Each structure stands twice: as C-alpha cells, then as structure tokens.
C-alpha cells in the first residue's frame, strides 16, 4: 500500500490521523471528506496567523494534489514493471553508490521519522 506522505509536523498541527490518499495495486483510495476537513483546518490556522501560506486552500486543490500524487506513483510502478524493468532498483543502487550505504540509510530513516504513516522503510519507496 502506498500512501500520500504528510509530515509529522502537519499531522500534529492539523490533528490529521489516518490516510487521505493511497494506492493499493491499481485501486486508488481517496477521502473526499478528509480533504475538506484538512482544508478547513489549514485555512483556520492561516486565518489565525498560526500557519504560513496563501490565504485559503480549497479542498478540491488538496484532493487534486493527492490524486495526482497517487497517479504518479502508479505510473512509476508501471514504468518499472512494463517499460524498464528494474529501473527503480537501478536508481536506488545509483543513490547508494553516490551517497554510500550509511548516508542513504540516514536519509531513509529521516524521511521515515518526518513522514510517519506511509513513510518509506524500503529504499525503493523514496
């Protein structure tokens, strides 16, 4: 299961639990009501001066962003399995060669810590 990554700070600030968007195989999972609630919380925080950003964000904008994100996950996976098998593993190997195993492990650990609930514990998920 792949999920839309939301930072730990944003999850805490907006009291966001669970998944807004995800991809299981070729099935796209999306929470329209969750997008509306999150947009309302972001807009309230921005109006109160507690969060930076544009004055308002629409639930539809969040929803579209999540859908596009999951579509790109699907396209990359399809590319890796049908067009260029092993492409993701090749990129992961290249990253390991450039960064070294220890540094790459730190990057993955930091990502997993900063983006919980759907973070990437395996190197091909980054």
Question: What pLDDT sits at residue 26?
Answer: 76
61 and 28 belong to one structural domain: yes
Question: Which range marks the domain in which residue 126 is found?
Answer: 86-126
Among 31-40, 56-65, 66-75, 112-121, the range scoring the smallest mean pLDDT is 112-121
6 and 65 belong to one structural domain: yes
2 and 38 belong to one structural domain: yes
Question: What pLDDT sits at residue 117?
Answer: 63
Eight-state DSSP code of residue 28? E
2 sits in which H/E element: strand 2-3
Among 33-42, 49-58, 86-95, 100-109, the range scoring the smallest mean pLDDT is 49-58
Report yes or no on 77 lying in a domain.
no
Distance of CA 3 to the CA centre of its chain: 6
Q: Taking residues 80-105, what's their average pLDDT?
A: 96
Number of domains in the chain: 2
92 and 66 belong to one structural domain: no
All residues at 6 or more sequence positions from 124 whose CB lies less than 8 Å from its CB, including other chains: 88, 89, 92
Report yes or no on 78 lying in a domain.
no
Averaged pLDDT of the chain: 86
Question: What pLDDT sits at residue 63?
Answer: 92
Q: Taking residues 79-84, what's their average pLDDT?
A: 97
End-to-end CA distance of the chain: 14
64 and 105 belong to one structural domain: no
5 and 61 belong to one structural domain: yes
47 and 103 belong to one structural domain: no
66 and 97 belong to one structural domain: no
Report yes or no on 81 lying in a domain.
no
Report yes or no on 76 lying in a domain.
no
Choice between 84 and 55, residue whose per-residue pLDDT is larger: 84
């Amino acid at each position: 299961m792949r999920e839309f990554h939301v930072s730990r700070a944003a999850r805490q600030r907006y009291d966001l639990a669970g998944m807004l968007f995800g991809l299981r195989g070729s099935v796209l999972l999306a929470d329209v009501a969750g997008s509306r609630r999150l947009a309302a919380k972001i807009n309230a925080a921005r109006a109160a001066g507690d969060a930076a950003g544009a004055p308002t964000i629409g639930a539809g904008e969040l929803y579209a962003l999540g859908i596009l994100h999951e579509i790109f996950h699907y396209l990359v996976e399809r590319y890796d399995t049908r067009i260029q098998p092993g492409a993701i593993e090749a990129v992961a190997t290249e990253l390991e060669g450039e960064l070294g195993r220890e540094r790459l492990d730190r990057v993955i650990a930091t990502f997993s810590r900063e983006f919980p609930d759907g973070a990437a514990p395996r190197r091909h998920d980054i």
